[in-house]
Amino acid sequence: MGAARLYDTPEQFAEMMGRQLSESMQVRIEQNEQEPLLMDIYLDPAEPDSHVQVSLHETFQTYMNSGDMNTAIDCLNNLVRTSTSIRSNPEIMKLDASYIYPAIRDDRYVLEAGRDADLVSTPFLPGLREIYLEIKNGCSKMIGESLLQHNPRFTEEKVKRLAYRNLKLAGWHPASLNLKSPTRPSCTIDVYCDPPHPIDCQFSCPDLASRQLPAHYVIAYTNRLYTLVLRSTEPMKTVEQAQRLVKRSKFEEIVKRGYGCLPHPVSRNMYLMSDGKYTLLSQ
């Protein structure tokens, strides 16, 4: 039985989160009337521009799926920790070229998160975009126009180039689990978990993936921590073959559960890799 939810609407959830943040951080919080799950945190009341905008959409979605307040608590703790780092570290706006990586997010998230920040992003697959993060000392910064203005040596193209350079230098990150499908013995589900840097983009990087993956497989970017790959000894070259196997192996069900129940969901889409290109499988 799922946990009972205390906050059933975006407005109730956003009000609770804003109240908790305001009390714990002694900052001013403003909610967007049209988008209640977009929240502006003003770190210095004397400086109107010293604010960050936070999207609560993914946190609220995970909470609605599970009723688990731990997701909201984790989000609050991360916001407090990040905001404290910004306040105490005047160098926080500087970018370090050695810690920039690409990462995958869904289209809506990039649109919402980038409304004020104007994020650097690139189309990736249908429903997904590639963003760029600096991940250092336990803090992740999404790179957008404001950060580039504080770092005139960095351009959008340089950020993208550095991100893939660092990804390649880190090397291939192998699957943490290889699970045989109990309903289709020919199929194996590989579970890739994030190391200290995102690994989403290693699968589409020929320098990393060419010797590690079969010619035909299905991939799902379910959430920020896990990427799932389905491979099979049966033919999986066509969309029809792939759709049959994702159903019979229960891969489709695992993807939906991972997207719906785990924190920080990204997408429930599944993509077939065949003939060197990805194709979206119909839902």
Instruction: Let me know if residue 5 belongs to a domain.
Output: no
- pLDDT classification of 86: cutoffs 50, 70, 90: low
- Residue 134 and residue 73 share a domain: no
- Residue 189 and residue 160 share a domain: no
Exposed e or buried b per residue across 86-102, where buried means at least 16 C-beta atoms within 10 angstroms of its C-beta: beeeeeeeebebebbbb
pLDDT at 15 over 80: yes
How many domains, the chain? 3
- Residue 185 and residue 272 share a domain: yes
Query: What are the Cα distances from residue 96, in Å, to 118, 153, 221?
Result: 20, 11, 27
Instruction: Let me know if residue 92 belongs to a domain.
Output: no
- pLDDT classification of 79: cutoffs 50, 70, 90: low
pLDDT at 100 over 90: yes
Distance CA 48, CA 236 (A): 55
Mean pLDDT of 186-192: 97
pLDDT at 236 over 50: yes
Looking at every residue in the chain, the average pLDDT score rounds to 84
- Residue 213 and residue 139 share a domain: no
Instruction: Let me know if residue 200 belongs to a domain.
Output: yes
227 touches 281 (CB < 8 A)? no
Look up the domain containing 43 and give its range.
10-87
- Residue 274 and residue 188 share a domain: yes
Distance CA 221, CA 118 (A): 23
Tokens of 203: 């699968």
pLDDT tens column, 143-182: 988 789 889 999 999 999 999 999 999 999 999 999 999 9
Tell me the Ramachandran region of residue 257: left when phi exceeds 0, alpha when psi lies from -120 to 50, beta otherwise.
alpha
Residue where a domain terminates, one of 27, 57, 87 = 87
Instruction: Determine the pLDDT at residue 104.
Output: 95
- Residue 269 and residue 194 share a domain: yes
Distance CA 247, CA 225 (A): 23
